[in-house]
Structure 1
Amino acid sequence: MDLIRQSAVSIVEQLKAGAITPLDLLDALEARIAEVDAIVNALPTLCFDRARAHARRLMDLPVEERGVLAGLPVPIKDLIEVEGVCTTFGSPIFKDHVPERSDILVRHLEEEGGVVYAKSNTPEFGAGANTFNEVFGATRNPWNTSRSAAGSSGGAAVSLATGMAWVAHGSDLGGSLRNPASFCGIVGMRPSPGRVAKNLGVKVDDLLSVEGPMARTVEDLALLLDAMCGEDAGDPVSLPRGGTSFLGAARRSPRLKRVAFSADLGITPIDPEVAEICRRAVSRFAELGIAVEEAHPDFSKARHAFQTLRAVGFAASHSRKLKDYPELLKPEMVWNVEKGLKLSVEEIIEAEAERRDIIAGTLAFFEEYDLLMTSATIVPPYPVEERYVSGCAGITFDNYIDWLAIAYAVSLTTAPALSLPCGFTAEGLPVGLQIVARPRGEAHLLGAAAELERLLDLNTLMPIDPRHR
């Protein structure tokens, strides 16, 4: 079997057995990237010389000292700095930026045997759920290259779907791990805040933006989370490992009694076909004797809370760029930063109180239900030329992030959530089911997602060659 078609778990087992080397994997990836990436534009920056040097250093170590990943290659989203590798943040402002030191996340991955060989494409500063920027252009959906791969971890998702990666790093503020996973038919997980340590941003206690894993299967994703997690003094909200093996958790069937499904969380329109595909997938839990009910926490204040707190973060992180380089920022960035700068202290306090109430309501909800499930996106992949979804089911949206409410409402809760492939539209485009567990319940979430993944039996369909339609 081709190496690119094997699971990450299988590849790591072979690395630890000495049946293959990290250099074999890098050769396979370089060949696959040369074959398909010009079509989809997922991995615009490659660093194979650096990767091979790191691989050789790993190979000089005893197998037991090569970490969780043992030499498995990992692409890093172009919002995270990698020492000696051009890191643009998708912005012309940083098109020639080469960091002198890697982010905490990258250092943790490399300590656990991850080998960085590429940077994956992202929208400018991760703003927006369509992966395009003025530095590298647009990333295309391999299931139909006329469609968006979503974002902001679009390059990572496409690299997985096309066999240019076994696992991939991504990040998530308002759905950026879950949206592209849904559009590309892979698994993307937003962990609880602090589960994956990262460099500090301007807003030190940020609980909305997290780093997380992506893969083609739940087990592969859990493997990467094992390598990513762990506390670091450089990230004051980071959590200790706690002795949990997330891969082990994905291999155990959880005890589920009662799960909830809501097509729209009570806050957003949704494409009827997407809603029905997700509803059918959730109904499979009934085969295991699990009660499936229609319910969701109260998210009625989620739009105001998220958009306000997001704007605060954008103003804190990017107001200086707006002042110094206004002509180099895309309109959506300008709008978001200016929105943040106009906020009053009273509006920010109100949004913080709303988020507190949403977290409290979510915790109470999980006293009654083991899981909350809904769609990961409200539409199937849309034309790549459209900057964002401007409306759905007859409802017009006010701005470029309104269509993401079904994902960003969950971001507010601090609960872990993942997008699991759950079916295809009549046009043959992937749909992802969003599965949410109680805050810090990653192990429970992974076990449940793996159970449903086995029932749906869709993960044998990848990787795919890009399809032109």
Structure 2
Amino acid sequence: MTDQITALSARALAEAIRTRRLSSEEVVAAHLARIDELNPAINAIVAFQPEVALETARERDRELARGVIRGPMHGLPIAVKDLMDVAGLPTSHGSRIYAGRVAADDSVIASRLREAGVVFVGKTNTPEFGAGSHTFNEVFGPTRNPYDITRSAGGSSGGAAAAVTTGMLPFADGSDLGGSIRNPASFGNLVGLRPTAGRVASARPGNAWDPGSVLGALTRDVADTALFLSVISGPERRAPLSIDEDPDLFLSLAPRSFRGARIAYSPDLGGLPLDPEVREATAAAARLASDLGAEVVEVDIDLTEADLVFETFRSLEFLDAHGEDAALHPDLVKQTVRDDVSWADGIDARLLNRAAGARTRLFRRFQSLLAEYDMLLGPTTQVLPFPIEWEYPTEIEGVAMERYYTWQRSCSRITATAMPAVSMPMTFSRGGLPIGVQFVGPYRGDRLLLEFALTWESAVGDVMARRPAV
């Protein structure tokens, strides 16, 4: 019964609870049993609180018996990424500095999830301060890829992805700066949406005008992504970029046909080195889009300034968020975070001005491209899931990676454009590892992107149904 419950979509579970075919206690208990069974090997869930979760589930059932339905996620279990506060749970940020620090209040995303009726079962693992796309830290250790536990689950939402792909959770939140939703989605055979900046508001400290870091979702199907987005999106007075649109617009998605659509295809997003199997999978995705009826046109996109944009504003974000910790506790902060902070020291007014102008040019260039085409198709990741012992890939196709996140440029270059993007499953490597592809839509075109993704999902249903045999 546990496996049957945990294999259901979030929507099916919510409906079963609402109609009392299943109780919240049964649903939560099944997922807790799945965590007990698999988490020792995978290490996706941290700050686990099974007894509190079961009592909350019983309360959700009592509420339902009184005719009270909190929202569309009433009674569903979730664990929130360990960078976001959930009142009463520790927010460790994967850092020894903050290990065990219990949050007094909910973050915006946790508050919206709570209002929707979820049951918090714990947190999901993340690298220290969310730095890098490989989930490991000295507080909780590494998160392993469920398709091969000797490999990385990606990051920084690696714990979230591993928990969802194994059925420890029906869905999960994530955050994405340089690919932290999209990379683990590709590594985990999941749907991973990086929404338009402001679609999901945040009141975290720092530069609220920067569109780089966003919040989104990791799910096993597109409709669950839409459900998740309908709950966590919406305006927030403390978030100046927040989008004032009705979140329910994501509840009426319909598959959008590829027939007649025009898709720009970039096999390597500006000449990036790719693992040969990733290159093959991306080419196969272009052929599949054509088979579905789209006009697929290979384009040569000018992304020469994207790395400047991403690296400049990323370093400034890390200086703001972690500069003090790195200065006060250098022995407790990993080298790559200290590097990011130190790179900000080399940013002067002229460089910042160049990067700001480049960001504007990139935005307008992509808006022009996506006025001519419905979407851009390219690789999500440049590599297959790599050995768990690596901190990050240091070379691809003989090309050295300059920084710890250089191997993520297939994602970070899209971040620099401010466009929404979704990673969708495509195929498996010859060694049985998932490979995703990335669709990029126009600014604020999140709904359009998900409607195309619904059609793609039907075309790769056999791939998406292939869950890990853990």
1:118 and 2:161 correspond: no
Matches within 5 A, 1:415-434: 415-434=419-438
Determine helix, strand or coil for the equivalent of 1:145: strand
CA–CA distance in 2 between the matches of 1:96 and 1:285?
47
Aligned-residue offset at 1:462: 4.6
- Structure 1 unpaired stretches of 5+: none
Whether contact under 8 Å (1:296, 1:365) holds in the other structure is: no
Matches within 5 A, 1:452-467: 452-458=456-462, 461-466=465-470
Structure 1 residues 257 and 463: alpha-carbon distance in aligned structure 2, compared to 1, 3 A threshold: closer
Match of 2:136 in 1: 132
Matching residue's letter, 2:29:
D
Match of 2:16 in 1: 14
When structure 1 is superposed on structure 2, of 387-396 and 238-247 the one drifting more is: 238-247
Determine helix, strand or coil for the equivalent of 1:195: coil
Give the one of 330, 333, 340 matched to 1:329: 333
Give the one of 51, 55, 78 matched to 2:53: 51
1:371 and 2:388 correspond: no
CA–CA distance in 2 between the matches of 1:201 and 1:465?
41
Paired residues in the alignment total 466
Matching residue's letter, 1:206:
D
1:209 and 2:213 correspond: yes
Deviations 1:47-102 (A, max 9, x none): 23443344344331566732121222121000001111111000000002001101
Structure 1 residues 166 and 251: alpha-carbon distance in aligned structure 2, compared to 1, 3 A threshold: farther
CA–CA distance in 2 between the matches of 1:317 and 1:256?
46
Deviations 1:372-417 (A, max 9, x none): 0111101111101010011111111111011111101111122111
CA–CA distance in 2 between the matches of 1:282 and 1:308?
32
Give the one of 350, 354, 358 matched to 1:350: 354
1:360 and 2:360 correspond: no
Whether contact under 8 Å (1:305, 1:355) holds in the other structure is: yes
Match of 2:273 in 1: 269
Aligned-residue offset at 1:248: 2.2
Matching residue's letter, 1:363:
Q
Matches within 5 A, 1:7-406: 7-59=9-61, 60-61=63-64, 65-242=69-246, 244-251=248-255, 253=257, 256-295=260-299, 297-406=301-410
1:3 and 2:5 correspond: yes
Whether contact under 8 Å (1:260, 1:294) holds in the other structure is: yes
Determine helix, strand or coil for the equivalent of 1:208: coil
Whether contact under 8 Å (1:160, 1:463) holds in the other structure is: no
CA–CA distance in 2 between the matches of 1:78 and 1:243?
25
CA–CA distance in 2 between the matches of 1:364 and 1:57?
51
Whether contact under 8 Å (2:377, 2:440) holds in the other structure is: yes
**RMSD of aligned C-alpha atoms?**
1.7
Aligned-residue offset at 1:255: 6.9
Whether contact under 8 Å (1:436, 1:445) holds in the other structure is: yes
Aligned-residue offset at 1:267: 4.0
Determine helix, strand or coil for the equivalent of 2:437: strand
Whether contact under 8 Å (1:121, 1:154) holds in the other structure is: yes
Determine helix, strand or coil for the equivalent of 2:318: helix
Q: Structure 1 vs Structure 2: percent identity of aligned residues?
A: 36
Aligned-residue offset at 1:231: 1.3
Structure 1 residues 381 and 294: alpha-carbon distance in aligned structure 2, compared to 1, 3 A threshold: same
CA–CA distance in 2 between the matches of 1:296 and 1:110?
45
Determine helix, strand or coil for the equivalent of 1:293: strand
TM-score computed with the length of structure 2 as normaliser: 0.95
Determine helix, strand or coil for the equivalent of 1:398: coil
CA–CA distance in 1 between the matches of 2:118 and 2:39?
22
Aligned-residue offset at 1:430: 0.4
Aligned-residue offset at 1:203: 1.6
CA–CA distance in 2 between the matches of 1:140 and 1:456?
25
Determine helix, strand or coil for the equivalent of 1:454: helix
Whether contact under 8 Å (2:259, 2:294) holds in the other structure is: no
Matching residue's letter, 1:19:
R
Whether contact under 8 Å (2:374, 2:441) holds in the other structure is: yes
When structure 1 is superposed on structure 2, of 31-40 and 59-68 the one drifting more is: 59-68
Structure 1 residues 112 and 459: alpha-carbon distance in aligned structure 2, compared to 1, 3 A threshold: farther
CA–CA distance in 1 between the matches of 2:143 and 2:9?
24
Matching residue's letter, 1:28:
A
CA–CA distance in 1 between the matches of 2:421 and 2:41?
30
Aligned-residue offset at 1:244: 4.2
CA–CA distance in 2 between the matches of 1:435 and 1:424?
18
When structure 1 is superposed on structure 2, of 199-208 and 26-35 the one drifting more is: 199-208
Deviations 1:175-220 (A, max 9, x none): 0000011111111110011111222222222210001011011111
CA–CA distance in 2 between the matches of 1:142 and 1:204?
35
When structure 1 is superposed on structure 2, of 44-53 and 222-231 the one drifting more is: 44-53
- Structure 2 unpaired stretches of 5+: none
Deviations 1:3-55 (A, max 9, x none): 01111121122122121122111100111111111001110221234433443
CA–CA distance in 2 between the matches of 1:63 and 1:232?
29
TM-score computed with the length of structure 1 as normaliser: 0.96
Question: Runs of 4 or more off by more than 4 Å in structure 1?
Answer: 61-64, 250-256
